[in-house]
Chains A and B, each alone.
Chain A
């Protein structure tokens, strides 16, 4: 299958398609497979999963500039709206399938541990900056930036601005 054949296959679908590029020897692919199949079953009839063996279609990978597997392409109306390389958790897969159904890119998510680490470090820097007699602005700004980075994915202003920027770029 080449890129135009894949495109033809995808444009004939009435619902979103998630294309997974995998290989039998790929350990992360095998690790992700049960969660991917489970998620595909949950979204069956609404989002389709198309699995392509990378070993059998090297030209297609080259045409699509796929350099690592597993890679998921989210295709809506035959157009790629999102791609992600690397093994994903069940939660991440659910988010990707749900966003494909909505026809939009998945919102970025942070793991709780990362959120906690960023928030804690941000708070510590802010407190440090405020507690010091010189109240260094750089530390306060760094602390504020870190604190925001802990919750940016939930900020409606950030989402609106980033969606606008992506709309301008694409």
Chain B
């Protein structure tokens, strides 16, 4: 019952999947150049926020997908 978790279960799973896909695209060389570097870094954002369960952007915008 952690109140700081503002993401629902599905939200977290989707974020982890999207993060891994973005990292695969960046690190796998599918996307190269500047965009590739961008994906290599930005992929960690949804991955980490999904694993932790807390999204700072949600907190700023007062959004909660976790209704508990």
Category for how many chain A residues contact B: 20 to 34
Contacts of A132 in B (CB 8 A): 27-29
Stretch at the interface among A57-65, A94-102, A119-127: A119-127
CA separation between A136 and B29, bound complex, in Å?
Answer: 11
- Whether B16 and A121, one on each chain, are in contact in the complex, defined by CB atoms closer than 8 angstroms, is yes
| 18 more CB-based (< 8 A) A-B contacts, given A28-B3, A31-B1 | A32-B1, A87-B1, A114-B51, A117-B12, A118-B51, A120-B16, A121-B16, A121-B19, A121-B47, A121-B51, A124-B20, A128-B28, A129-B27, A132-B28, A134-B27, A136-B27, A139-B23, A139-B27
Q: Which residue of B1, B2, B13 is within 8 Å of A117 (Cβ)?
A: B13
CB proximity of A153 to chain B, nearest CB, Å: 15
Category for how many chain B residues contact A: 10 to 19
- Whether A125 and B1, one on each chain, are in contact in the complex, defined by CB atoms closer than 8 angstroms, is no
Indicate with 1 or 0, residue by residue over A7-25, a CB within 8 angstroms of chain B CB atoms: 0000000000000000000
List residues of A (70-89) whose CB comes within 8 Å of B's CBs: 86-89
CB proximity of B19 to chain A, nearest CB, Å: 8
- Whether B16 and A117, one on each chain, are in contact in the complex, defined by CB atoms closer than 8 angstroms, is yes
CB proximity of A135 to chain B, nearest CB, Å: 10
Residue of B whose beta carbon sits closest to that of A87: B1
Among A28, A113, A124, A134, the one with the most B-chain Cβ atoms within 10 Å of its Cβ is A124
- Whether B12 and A125, one on each chain, are in contact in the complex, defined by CB atoms closer than 8 angstroms, is no
Contacts of B24 in A (CB 8 A): 128
CA separation between A86 and B1, bound complex, in Å?
Answer: 7
Given contacts A31-B1, A87-B1, A113-B9, contact A128 B23 (CB under 8 A): yes
CA separation between A149 and B24, bound complex, in Å?
Answer: 21
Contacts of A113 in B (CB 8 A): 9
Residue of A whose beta carbon sits closest to that of B12: A117
CB proximity of A106 to chain B, nearest CB, Å: 15
Indicate with 1 or 0, residue by residue over B23-55, a CB within 8 angstroms of chain A CB atoms: 110011100000000000000100100110100
Q: Is A146 interfacial (CB 8 A cutoff)?
A: yes
CA separation between A153 and B23, bound complex, in Å?
Answer: 27
